[in-house]
């Protein structure tokens, strides 16, 4: 079962000031509590997200705007990996205590090297494209009939955390429009042109 924490408990768990967490929420680095008001509760989502923020901000020295930009485009596994980095860094006892001071500084410089953001390449096939190509090959081009489920919802992803959901079957042209809207929103959210 997913844990539910108060703001104070979340701050204590992560050794982070509640006001810092609130400011991250205000800056859209993570979403607010699941339930608002006095009974506000925070979940594993917040723990992971805050640990990833710690890793990007404190250990890679990135400004908050850049942290936000990276979080918008990050994948689930990348987020988990960053969160682990933040969690390890939070607990001094769990860091390796071997090696010279020079080794430590070098490893810190290595981990702190800002990563270049991936270059946008619209022409590159996505992993989903590859799966579809493989399935087409397996079925020798005989596309299966799409089954109706009474109510159809179409999801158009914007970022790993945000999507547009549209009720009802969409034509290819409509889908193309939704995808263009998603592209605009993604650009806006990520501070692009």
What is the contact mask toward other proteins in residues 73 to 112, using x (rule: CB under 8 A)?
A: ----------------xx-xx-x-x-xxxx-xx--xx--x
Question: Does the CA dihedral 83-55-40-34 come out positive or negative?
Answer: negative
* Nearest to other proteins of 84, 170 (CB atom): 84
Instruction: Write the DSSP string, 115-144.
Output: PPPPPP-TTSPPHHHHHHHHHHHHTTT-PP
Quote the CA–CA distance of 152 and 161 in Å, as a whole number. Answer: 21
In whole angstroms, give the CA distance from residue 179 to residue 155: 10
Nearer to other proteins, 19 or 134 (CB): 19
* C-alpha to C-alpha distance for 61 and 64, rounded to whole angstroms: 9
Span interacting with other proteins, options 54-62, 150-158, 161-169, 179-187, rule CB under 8 A: 54-62
59 binds other proteins (CB under 8 A): yes
Nearer to other proteins by C-beta: 100 or 137? 100
Q: Name which of 108 and 169 has its Cβ closer to other proteins.
A: 108
> Cα separation of 132 and 106, whole Å?
44
User: x/- contact string, 25-44, with other proteins (CB under 8 A)?
Assistant: --------------------
Burial of 186 (0-12, 13-18, 19+ CB in 10 A): middle
13 forms part of the interface with other proteins (CB under 8 A): no
The residues of the shown chain that bind other proteins, judged by CB under 8 A, are 15, 19, 54, 57-59, 61, 89-90, 92-93, 95, 97, 99-102, 104-105, 108-109, 112
């Amino acid at each position: 079962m997913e844990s539910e924490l108060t703001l104070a408990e979340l701050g204590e768990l992560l050794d982070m000031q509640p006001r810092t967490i609130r400011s991250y929420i205000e800056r859209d680095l993570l979403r607010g509590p699941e339930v608002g008001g006095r009974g506000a509760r925070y979940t594993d989502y917040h723990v992971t997200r805050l640990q990833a923020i710690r890793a990007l901000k404190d250990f890679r020295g990135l400004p908050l705007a850049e942290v936000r930009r990276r979080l918008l485009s990050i994948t689930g596994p990348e987020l988990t990996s960053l969160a682990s980095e933040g969690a390890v860094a939070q607990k001094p006892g769990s860091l390796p205590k071997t090696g010279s001071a020079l080794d430590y500084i070098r490893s810190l410089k290595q981990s702190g090297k800002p990563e270049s953001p991936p270059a946008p390449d619209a022409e590159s096939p996505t992993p989903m494209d590859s799966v579809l190509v493989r399935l087409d090959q397996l079925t020798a081009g005989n596309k299966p009939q799409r089954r109706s489920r009474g109510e159809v919802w179409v999801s158009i992803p914007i970022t790993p955390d945000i999507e547009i959901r549209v009720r009802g079957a969409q034509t290819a042209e409509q889908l193309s429009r939704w995808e263009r809207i998603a592209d605009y929103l993604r650009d806006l959210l990520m501070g692009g042109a």
